[in-house]
Amino acid sequence: MIVKSSEGQPIKENDADPLHDWLFFDINRPIHGGKNPIIFIYRNVKDTIVSMYFMFKHIKQLNCAHPVANLDVFAEAFMEGHVHYGLYFHYFNSFWQHWQQPNFFHVSYERLHQDAAAEIRRLVDFLGNPLTEEQAQQVAHHTTFERMEKNDKLNMAK
């Protein structure tokens, strides 16, 4: 499989641009010597496509770099790896093959959305810094979309 950048050029392991391409697990070799924690948050691929479509459509800098005609065209380009970040499936598989390693934490966006406080507790337990129930609830509250949307420092669409 040849992974291509947003410009259509093949990506070599050492040529990835963290601002424009998915960062593959194998590219991050220096950080995963078996001791450092690796946190992988992923999303249902259909939701990823729709979310990226609207992100590209509404954030002016991204739309200029990669004009979006409609969702069908974007979905096809996404599935072929011809979007700004390259081929998502290579990225996903590069991490997923390591999911059973003891230093590897994974959670889906859907699980985070369903019960953020529980997943936050699971994450901090994995990192060795447990939180109380109250602390986990506070983190969950401050990281909701509604709360972050009101924060001008976090909302790039404003």
pLDDT score for 154: 76
pLDDT means over runs of 10, the chain (158 residues): 43 44 52 72 92 82 69 88 79 84 90 95 94 94 88 74
Is this structure's pTM higher than 0.75?
no
pLDDT score for 13: 43
3 state SS for the chain: CCCECCCCCECCHHHCCCCCCCCCHHHHHHHCCCCCCEEEEECCHHHHHHHHHHHHHHCHHHHHHCCCCCHHHHHHHHHHCCCCCCCHHHHHHHHHCCCCCCCEEEEEHHHHHHCHHHHHHHHHHHHCCCCCHHHHHHHHHHCCHHHHHCCCCCCCCC
